[in-house]
Amino acid sequence: MTPRSLAVVVLTGALCTVAFTGCSSMTSHAAVKAEKDRHAAPDFTLKDATGKAVKLSDYHGKVVLLNFWATWCGPCKIEIPWFIDFQQSFKDREFAVLGVSLDDDGWKAVKPYVDEHKINYRVVVGTEELSQLYGGIDALPTTFIIDRSGRIAMKHEGLVSKGEYQNEILDLLNGKTLQKSAAVPRGVPAFFWTK
Amino acid sequence: MLLFLAASLLSFGQNNVLSVASAPKVTAKAGSTVEAKLTLELRSGYHCNSDKPSDDYLIPLKLTWAPGVLEAGEIVYPKPQMEKYTFSEKPLSVYTGDFEIVTRFKAPSSAPAGLAMLTAKLRYQACTDRMCLPPKTVEVSLPVEIVK
């Protein structure tokens, strides 16, 4: 083997190794559900810490990360800085994070936590009824990724990676977007909305 | 296999992951003190916070006896384990597997002889390495016989 061919073999091997390890160390890309498999996210209205009503259907046209969490849930606390980051990074791209705390003590427990951790997205205190609407939230964190049409594109029970969330959010943000004028709020018959 | 295990752990979320063995009858002489031991078993893969969790936000394991023929005194929780989990920066004070809680009771001199049942509420909050179950309160019973 000539020095030149040896160099080619070594270089090729190195490139293959970099390519392989690079790919294997990446977070696997979990695709969101196909549109035909998505179901409408149940609408709800709850109040945030300031007493202002938060209605899920008001987010129609946006991609929403709906996170059920609690202050006593360790794995939830890992995710919160990620969500703060997503809220900051994607806020100008029709994206929002909405936190639903399932703390029994309500705002007494949640407000200090929100303040202490400088949570930059809206948080509401959930109810048992809301939990049931979403199929019964048995484990925390439970997170729903909701598409621009208000349909559940992904559900995660338990801690997943930041990369996985990010891929799903970007899938939806980069996907086919509804024209705002064409976005029909849930509960409004289409013929009322058609100009 | 790992997927199956993960799925199993999540499906257990529907159930109670902490079981309390039926407590054997405690016999107490009126006017004396007596100890009762509760044996608990936490499902594999789960932990619950100890009676003194590492963080103010965490929910402690707590046993509370209802008033009855015996007067509940000191409750002795086991020594916790300090375990590090992927979601915690520092080790957490937890219980895993099998453990016991001992309660010291006083039988008043006026306690009527005979059989009775004491009840308590055990509150706990369990997690795995990647998810947590809501806090749960289970009722515990302790058969008691008072002798003169």
pLDDT in tens, B77-122: 999 999 999 898 899 999 999 999 999 999 999 999 999 999 999 9
Does B135 sit within 8 Å of A72, measured CB to CB? yes
Instruction: Output the pLDDT for position B5.
Output: 42
Statement: A31-179 belongs to CATH 3.40.190.10: no
Q: Scan for tokens 């929100």, then name that residue.
A: A114
Cβ atoms of B117 and B141 within 8 Å: the answer is yes
CB < 8 Å to B132, chain A = 70, 72-76, 139-140
Cβ atoms of A49 and A100 within 8 Å: the answer is no
Q: How many CA atoms lie within 13 A of A155 on its CB side?
A: 16
Interface of B with A in 22-51 (CB under 8 A): none
Does B57 sit within 8 Å of A158, measured CB to CB? no
Token pair listed for A24: 């294997």
Q: What percent of chain A has pLDDT over 90?
A: 69
Find the length of chain B: 148
| Cβ neighbours, 10 Å, residue A182 | 13
Q: Is B84 on the interface with A (CB under 8 A)?
A: no
| Cβ neighbours, 10 Å, residue A45 | 12
Instruction: Output the pLDDT for position A111.
Output: 96
SS (H, E, C) B44-67: CCCEEECCCCCCCCCCCCEEEECC
Instruction: Output the pLDDT for position A5.
Output: 56
CB < 8 Å to A141, chain B = 131
Instruction: Output the pLDDT for position B81.
Output: 97
pLDDT per residue over B5-64, tens digit each? 444 344 334 458 999 999 999 999 999 999 999 999 999 999 999 999 988 899 999 999
CB < 8 Å to B135, chain A = 72, 104
Does B88 sit within 8 Å of A139, measured CB to CB? no
Cα–Cα distance for residue pair A20/A23, rounded to 1 Å: 5
Strands of the B18-20 sheet, one edge to the other: B18-20, B33-42, B98-106, B71-76
**Pick from A58-62, A71-75, B15-19: least confident:** B15-19
Q: With bands split at pLDDT 50, 70 and 90, how would you rate the model's confidence at A184?
A: very low
Instruction: Output the pLDDT for position A31.
Output: 75
Query: In this predicted complex, what is the ipTM?
Result: 0.83
Strand bridging mode B47-49 / A151-157: unpaired
Confidence check: pLDDT of A17 > 80:
no
User: pTM of the full predicted structure?
Assistant: 0.79
Find the length of chain A: 195
Does A159 sit within 8 Å of B134, measured CB to CB? no
Does B132 sit within 8 Å of A70, measured CB to CB? yes
pLDDT per residue over A115-164, tens digit each? 999 999 999 999 999 999 999 999 999 999 999 999 999 999 999 999 99
Domain edges within chain A: 1-26+183-195, 31-179
Cβ atoms of A145 and A65 within 8 Å: the answer is yes
